[in-house]
Structure 1
Amino acid sequence: MRISRAQIALLWSLTFPGFGQIYNRQVIKGFTLIGLEFLINLQGGINRAILYSFHGQFAPASQSVDWNWLLFYPCIYIFAAGEAFHQATLQDHKEYPKKALVPFILAAMGGTIGAIYGYQFGFGPIFNGLIGMAIGALIGQFLSKRILVDL
Structure 2
Amino acid sequence: MKKKKVSRSEALLWSIALPGFGQLLNGKLIKGILFILIEFVVNMKSHFNLGIMYSFQGHFLDAQTILNFQWLLFYPCCYMYAMWDAFKDAEEADPSRLTYLPFLCGAVTVTTAIFYSTNDYVTGKLFGPIFFPMLALIPGLLIGWIIKKVLEPSSK
Q: Same fold (TM over 0.5)?
A: yes
Deviating above 6 A after TM superposition, structure 1's stretches of 4 or more consecutive aligned residues are none
CA contact 1:74–1:111 (8 Å) conserved in 2:
yes
* Worse-matched range after superposition: 123-132 or 16-25: 123-132
CA-CA distance at 1:138 after TM superposition = 1.1
- Please state which structure has a larger fraction of its residues in helix: 1
Q: Does 1:61 align with 2:63?
A: yes
Q: Does 1:149 align with 2:125?
A: no
What SS does structure 1 have at the residue aligned with 2:31? helix
Q: TM-score when scaled to structure 1? A: 0.90
1:61-140 matches, within 5 Å, as 61-88=63-90, 91-92=91-92, 94-121=93-120, 122-140=126-144
Structure with larger Rg? 2
Unmatched tracts of structure 2, length 5 or more = 1-5, 121-125
Distance 2:113 2:136 in 1: 5
- Aligned counterpart, 2:35: 33
CA-CA distance at 1:57 after TM superposition = 1.2
Identical counterparts, % of pairs: 38
CA-CA distance at 1:95 after TM superposition = 3.1
CA-CA distance at 1:24 after TM superposition = 0.3
Q: CA RMSD in A?
A: 1.3
